[in-house]
Amino acid sequence: MALTRDQVRAIALLARVRVPDEGLEPMAKEISGILHWIEQLNEVDTEGVEPMTSVVAMTLPMRPDAVDDGGDPAAVLKGAPEPVDGFYAVPKVVE
């Protein structure tokens, strides 16, 4: 499938990766090429095949309900770009 500029723009917005306008066309071409190559999968008959989400043949392990983590705000805020009063801070969001 060939992607359009607008589709690339939409995906880029969804992924929050800025692609400058002049980059849309080349990116559309590049991704279209890869998708075209990927589409050879359509030759494979997958009728009745269960999709494989993990190669691990076991059930999900669980942990007991115990509090053994957290409690160290300095550790989670260390390295934050703009911490304020124990909070992370971002440009103001209007809902």
Partner 1 sequence: MGAWRIQGESGEWEAVIGLEVHAQVISASKLFSGASAVFGAEPNTQVSLVDAGFPGMLPVLNEYCVEQAVRTGLGLKAKINLTSVFERKNYFYADLPAGYQISQYKYPLVGEGTVILDMPDGSTRPIGIERLHVEQDAGKSLHDQDPKRTFIDLNRSGVALMEIVSRPDLRTPEEAGIYLRKLRSILRYLGTCDGNMEEGSMRCDVNVSVRKPGEPLRTRAEIKNVNSVRFVMQAIEHEARRQVRAYEEGGKVVQETRLYDSHKGETRPMRAKEFAHDYRYFPDPDLLPLRLSPEYVDVIAATLPELPDEKKDRFMRDYGLSPYDAGVLVVERETADYFERAARGGEGVGRGGRDAKQVANWVISTLFGLLNAKGLPVTRSPVSADHLGKLVDLIADGTISGRIAKDVFEIMGETGRDPADIVAAKGLQQITDTGAIEAAVNQVIAANPDKAAEVRAGKVALLGWFTGQVMKATGGKANPAAVNAILKKKLSG
Partner 2 sequence: MSALTDLGIAEAAAGLAKRDFSAVELARAHIAAVAGARALNAFIVETPDAALAAAAESDKRRQDGRSLGVLDGIPLAIKDLFCTEGVQTTAGSRILKGFVPAYESTVTRNLKRAGAAMIGKTNLDEFAMGSSNITSAFGPVKNPWGPPLGRAGNKELVPGGSSGGSAAAIAAGLALGATGTDTGGSIRQPASFCGIVGLKPTYGRCSRFGIVAFASSLDQAGPMTRNVKDAALMLGAMAGHDPRDSTSAPIPCPDFARAAIAPVKGLRVGIPKEYRIEGMSSEIDALWRKGEQWLREQGAEVVEVSLPHTRYALPTYYIVAPAEASSNLARYDGVRFGLRVPGETLDDMYMNTRAAGFGPEVRRRILIGTYVLSAGYYDAYYLKAQKVRALIARDFRDAFATVDAILAPTAPSPAFAIGEKTEDPIAMYLNDVFTVPASLAGLPAMSVPAGLSAGGLPLGLQIIGRAFDEETVLRAGAAIERAAGFDTRPSRLVPAKAGKGDR
Binding site for partner 2 (CB under 8 A): 3, 7-8, 11-19, 27, 30-31, 33-35, 37-44, 46, 49-56, 58, 60-61, 63, 75-76, 78-82, 88, 90-93
Closest CA to 11 of 32, 37, 39, 38: 32
Residue 47 CB, shortest distance to partner 2, in Å, is 9
Residue 7 CB, shortest distance to partner 2, in Å, is 8
* Residue 85 CA neighbour count, 13 Å, CB half: 0
Residue 59 CB, shortest distance to partner 2, in Å, is 10
Neighbours of 23 (CB within 10 A): 14
Binding site for partner 1 (CB under 8 A): 13-14, 16, 53-54, 56, 58-71, 73, 75-77, 82, 84-95
Burial of residue 68 (number of CB atoms within 10 Å: 0-12, 13-18, 19+): exposed
B/e letters for 55-67, b = 16+ CB within 10 Å, e = fewer, are eeeeeeeeeeeee
The listed partner (partner 1, partner 2, none) that binds 22, CB under 5 to 8 Å by sort, is: none
Residue 8 CB, shortest distance to partner 1, in Å, is 14
